[in-house]
Amino acid sequence: MGELSYAAGPTTAPLLDRTIDADFRRAVELHSDREALVVRHQRIRWTYAELDAHVDQLARALMASGLSIGDRVGLWSPNRYEWVLVQYATARIGAIMVCINPAYRTHELEFALNQSGCSMLLAAPDFKSSDYRAMWHSVAAQCPGIREAVFFSESSWDALLDRAESVTSTEVAARSASLSADDPINIQYTSGTTGLPKGATLTHRNILNNGYFVGEACGYTPDDRVCIPVPFYHCFGMVMGNLGSTSHGATMVIPNDAFEPVSVLQAVAEERCTSLYGVPTMFIAELAVPDFDSYDLSSLRTGIMAGSPCPVEVMKQVIERMNMDDVTIAYGMTETSPVSTQTSADDSIDKRVGSVGRVHPHVEIRIADPETGATVPRGTAGEFQTRGYSIMLGYWNEPEKTAQAIDAEGWMHTGDLAVMDDDGYVNITGRIKDLIIRGGENISPREIEEFLYAHPDIVDVQVVGVPDQRFGEAVCAFVRAREGASLTTDTVRDYCHGRIAHYKVPKYVICVDEFPMTVTGKIQKYLLRDAAIAELQLEGFGPTA
């Protein structure tokens, strides 16, 4: 037997043994006059000293509102400066920030607020066609734990900030000093295979160190300016983006409230950004802008592509046309804060496209036989598992599901199939878990099935992922209608709109009389997927087509 598929990351650079606020205050002390935050669509441009003053004001206001250490605060908003303030202010006073996906609708909002036990909701008033205020009012009666809902840019936000006068910065500093790096500070809802999302609970140590080491892999210094068009509610934005920047004294540049390719190119060119983040579909959209060559991207040198596999040709164009010679590929999951492996700037294009890199510092990884749990030889496929400082505390209030994900030896079972080569590079080859990944969003088929079962005309439903040229995968629902009922794609989609996130709404609906079964009565989803590909003529579609 050859070398086993196990690797431990370097430990030469020590873990940061401090809270997020202690690290942020250190950055403020060292880089007070440097730009910390640029939010272009809100015309915000703050130095580290100015950002610190705003964070402190909000921290005092939240303490004055009665928030104690460990209380949960829901945050429901696209990318705005207020999002950043809430992230650092809650960390300063030890309140646990609960990230709520801006795409969530009433069904999901109610679940997240109640499951996490939030006592306060901070939200944008609206976003595109979403009226958050109206959605909140429609579920408020079902969320008795929420003492107060506050909406940015409105009188309730001003009234909240006015309370800051009753608490001093000294009191806030004392609260901050009492916190531990091992305290929970963030809950992020992540889709699994068993219905409703689970709240991955992350500590200061988890996410501060992960952001820091991601930044180290990109070679960040205080001179870097990081363009962050990925959403804050996910680890990519708030950990790899925000914490990766502030832990190095770098500048966070926010091009817009949500991804829009032209605003990204404008931000990079006009702000002289040195780093750019995105999932492959974002880079593809940027490269496709008609006047792409008119934007001066010469300041770029690095960045991160993550979320789904990157086509070879796209990576070549990102390097050649976007000047991102040092672009890296990262792999991880919310439960691991998120990154476990990352390529490096000196890796070949083949390694950057054909792998997700090597093990991160202070992390262990292995490829294990899904049946026996034994570590397999290199070159052999198995389940990717990881352990170390980055593993979540657990799923909020769900010890049984936590035990299913993290074994007695501390290994996080990712559900992803992978192969490790002789040099320690990992290639993700598939999934054990029944998940759909659409443009970097994890979607639980079971969650959509449970939701659609409530439709009065649906007797049975099975949801699968099918290839999609733009997003990699799309949602396809096979439905059995009750006798005498007529279902169409439009009627099923109309039922979903406004109640579940847009990215979970089936793109395709196929009506069937029965599902293919095994002899033991288990539905064969792979046959449904094959049938959908054939019926919808999706052969050759997908991110690499």
Any domain includes 251 = no
Segment 336-361 shows an average pLDDT of 93
Residue ranges making up the domain that contains 495: 443-535
- Each residue of 438-460: pLDDT tens digit? 988 889 888 898 899 889 999 88
**DSSP conformation class of 77:** -
Mean pLDDT over 416-432 rounds to 89
**Quick check: 361 pLDDT over 90?**
yes
pLDDT given at position 517: 73
- What pLDDT score was predicted for residue 519? 53
- Range with the lowest mean pLDDT among 5-19, 53-67, 420-434? 420-434
- Residue 1 binned pLDDT confidence (cut-offs 50, 70, 90): low
Residue 147 pLDDT > 70, yes or no?
yes
Q: Is the pLDDT of residue 429 over 90?
A: no
Q: Would the pLDDT of 356 be above 50? A: yes
pLDDT tens track for 84-112: 999 999 999 999 999 999 999 999 999 99
Name the token pair of 128. Answer: 């595109």
- Low-confidence winner among 12-21, 159-168, 191-200, 531-540 (lowest mean pLDDT): 191-200
Largest CA distance in the chain: 71
pLDDT at 310: 77
The residue among 114, 145, 180 that closes a domain is: 180
Q: Is residue 52 within 8 Å of residue 91, measured between CB atoms? A: no
Question: What percentage of residues in the chain have a pLDDT greater than 70?
Answer: 97
* Lowest-confidence pick of 211-225, 255-269, 512-526: 512-526
pLDDT for the residue numbered 236: 96
Q: Which of 180, 195, 219 is the last residue of a domain?
A: 180
More confident residue, 470 or 311: 470
Find residue 100's DSSP bridge partners.
76
| Residue of 40 and 539 predicted with greater confidence | 40
Q: What is the mean pLDDT of the chain?
A: 94
Residue 142 lies in a domain: yes
Bigger pLDDT: 490 or 354? 490
Confidence of residue 48 (pLDDT cuts 50, 70, 90): very high
- How far is residue 317's CA from residue 299's CA, in Å, rounded to a whole number? 16
In a domain, 60, yes or no: yes
* ∠ CA 101-390-237, rounded to 5°: 35
Across residues 185-193, what is the average pLDDT?
83
Does 506 score more than 80 pLDDT?
A: yes
219 is a domain residue: no
Considering only CA atoms, which of 382, 409, 367, 416 is closest in space to residue 192?
Answer: 416
Quick check: 397 and 41 in contact, CB under 8 A? Answer: no
Residue 141 placed within a domain: yes
- Mean pLDDT (whole number) for 389-418: 96
144, 163, 180: which is the final residue of a domain? 180
Does the pLDDT at position 44 exceed 80? Answer: yes
Does the residue 52 lie in any domain?
yes
Q: Cα–Cα distance between 169 and 489 in angstroms, integer?
A: 56
Q: Which residues partner with 430 through β-bridges? A: 417
The encoded tokens of residue 328 equal: 């890296």
In a domain? residue 506: yes
Quick check: 68 and 269 in contact, CB under 8 A?
no
**What's the per-residue H, E or C state across 132-144?**
HHHHHHHHHHHCC
Give me the CATH number covering residue 457. Answer: 3.30.300.30
Give the pLDDT band (50/70/90) at residue 252.
very high
For tokens 């309370």, name the residue: 163
Q: How many CB atoms lie within 10 A of CB 313?
A: 12
Q: Helix (H, G, I), strand (E, B), or coil: what is residue 162?
A: helix
Can you read off the two tokens belonging to residue 540?
């050759």
pTM for this structure?
0.87
Predicted local confidence at residue 516, as pLDDT: 87
Query: 55: domain CATH number?
Result: 3.40.50.980
In a domain, 529, yes or no: yes
Confidence of residue 543 (pLDDT cuts 50, 70, 90): very low
Distance CA 406, CA 386 (A): 9
Strand 198-203 with 225-227, pairing: unpaired
Which is nearest to 209 in space by CA: 86, 336, 51, 121? Answer: 336
**How many domains in the chain?**
2
pLDDT at 133 over 90: yes
